[in-house]
Structure 1
Amino acid sequence: MGLAQGGSRDETACRPQRVLVVDERELVQAGLRAVLAGESWVGACLGASSADMAWELARRHHPQLLLLSMSVQGCSGLELCRQFKQRMPHIKVMLMSGEGRVSTSLATSNGAVGFLPTDMPAAGIVSIVRRVAEGGKVFPRNPDPPENARLSKRELDVLKHLVSGLSNPEMAELLSLSRHTVKQHTSTVYRKLGVRNRAQAASRAQELGLVG
């Protein structure tokens, strides 16, 4: 996997850091914590399954590094990332997902300093997280969207308006389409992206770089 990276890195040492893993999926969260907890540079590895729990643990334990899922119980990981950087700017935030990638420009504009593909082997995960812990920035290069996620121009229009928060009637009026046609396009977009609702569609679209 090609990596785009930047920032300084101390090759000899990394001071022990508290890491907070935020993912609603228990297996993913437990797996990442198990992988990282045994590293000498990890002082503690905490886990949260919701945004509220993440805020509580962050205020209580003051982690230096936050691994944040792209979607947490319907909440956008990008929005949470931006909020953490505004309220706790000392925390280094890495976005993570097992499906797709988020564009580097979109991630950095929301305050992230790295992206972690959770489908990587354990050694790769440790390497990427440590680079960020040492002060670097690491983003995997964006692959092309899967074939079945490629949308028509009209479907992309619907997706962008959907992500911006427009209702189906509002989209129908704006695009000069019937409500039934908009509903059909929306259903097709969900199917192609493999999602079930607007929040998941927004998260998936951002991962694939389909919306800015």
Structure 2
Amino acid sequence: MTTMAAQVASPRSARPSASCKVLIVGRPSIFRNGIHSLAEFESVVSECRAVQTCTEGVELAKRFQPHVLLVDVTSPCGSTVQIAQAFRECRPEMAIMLYSDGDHVPHVLSRDAQAYGAFTRTTSPSAIKRLVGCIVRDNVIADDHETVPDAGTLVRLSGRQMEVLREMSRGSSNPEIARTLLMSSHTVKQHTQAIYQRLGVRNRVEAVTFAQRLGMLPIGA
């Protein structure tokens, strides 16, 4: 059976004090939810601040110098893509992540905003932790005291699971995937659940986003 593997490097050995700064842009509730989601990663996240407007955020980013920007996709202060662009011009090395209070972040929105990742209120803590770990691994966070990352977990998907994942990234529904790959809807569902389990995610957006981060899918697939 054909398999595809991706090496997931775990977060680098943390110093006693964490080094990742997070800035949240959006509604007040997003701050509470974002803090709740990131709280368990205090060994990585040292400080988290929040603003409600893009203008405030850009000014704060110049002083605060965050490593990660968490953008509320339903923020009333402008389009997500425009907000991402404004911050990218201010601090191009910052990793941008999208957040939704709902259960879905459109893949096309993540692509257009050039987001590093996306998660929702239903995203599992393990998936968020993996995304934060990827940011650390990819040197978005510079730490002269850190050493080479420890060996991570090996994620393996079968050839059929990769075919299903690729169709998912194209926005195909389960019935459409079944017709394209000549398999039953039940089999597609089984493959989908297996993909979620192996990647440690809960939905399609997380699966596609995380697979892109691992290099298993091209960005904009």
Q: What TM-score range do you get, normalising by the shorter chain?
A: 0.5 to 0.7
Structure 1, unmatched stretches of 5+, are 1-5, 146-212
Q: Determine which of 20, 24, 36 is the counterpart of 2:23.
A: 20
Code of the residue aligned with 2:66 in structure 1: it is: P
2:46 aligned residue: 43
Q: CA deviation at 1:69?
A: 1.2
Code of the residue aligned with 1:101 in structure 2: it is: V
Q: Distance in 2 between matches of 1:72 and 1:7?
A: 35
> Quick check: 1:32 aligned with 2:34?
yes
Code of the residue aligned with 2:55 in structure 1: it is: D
State the number of aligned residues. Answer: 135
Q: Distance in 1 between matches of 2:92 and 2:74?
A: 21
> Quick check: 1:95 aligned with 2:98?
yes
2:132 aligned residue: 129
RMSD of the alignment, in Å? Answer: 3.1
Q: Which structure ranks higher in relative contact order (CA pairs < 8 Å, sequence separation ≥ 6)? A: 2
TM-score, reference length from structure 1: 0.52
Q: Distance in 2 between matches of 1:32 and 1:80?
A: 18
Q: CA deviation at 1:7?
A: 9.4
The verdict on how the C-alpha distance between 1:17 and 1:114 changes in structure 2, with shifts beyond 3 A counting, is: same
Per-residue Cα deviation, 1:123-150 (whole angstroms, up to 9, x for no partner): 44333333334329xxxx66668xxxxx
The verdict on how the C-alpha distance between 1:57 and 1:10 changes in structure 2, with shifts beyond 3 A counting, is: same
Q: Distance in 2 between matches of 1:37 and 1:11?
A: 16
Question: What does 1:20-169 correspond to in 2, within 5 Å?
Answer: 20-24=23-27, 26-38=28-40, 39-97=42-100, 98-103=102-107, 106-135=109-138
Structure 2, unmatched stretches of 5+, are 1-5, 140-167, 174-221
8 Å contact 2:53–2:77 — kept in the other structure? Answer: no
TM-score, reference length from structure 2: 0.50
Q: State percent identity of aligned pairs.
A: 21
Q: Distance in 2 between matches of 1:93 and 1:7?
A: 22
